[in-house]
Structure 1
């Protein structure tokens, strides 16, 4: 499919990724390795076809990032995978 899209002249393909259901609990918030491998596979295939590949947080904005104004420390710790 990627080859077909690229052959039609498209130069970029946006990859929307929802992370919230694929990372563990605090303090590490470790991303599930199977999910991360699949994300890498899709991105690598897209790059191999010559696409520019912007990725974005998809759904995370309303699933947990939207609490940032009231709880910025927790959101940033989850986002960066840190405990500080």
Structure 2
């Protein structure tokens, strides 16, 4: 199934957001490790929780991008939302 240009852009945007979430989560985990090594376990745990929530959001964005790819989600033309 060929995607329309708006749906191609939507898929690219979702994949980009997923990638940003992934790298942000990786960075948070690195910072959490350094904090933990410096004796700031509570702060490290809070960052780890944030990193985990980023990973969950990343998985959702990847799933939505796949749904766009197979045609379950599509971008509508402006003004057709209520049809």
Q: TM-score, normalised by structure 2?
A: 0.35
* CA radius of gyration, larger in: 2
Structure with greater strand share of residues: 1
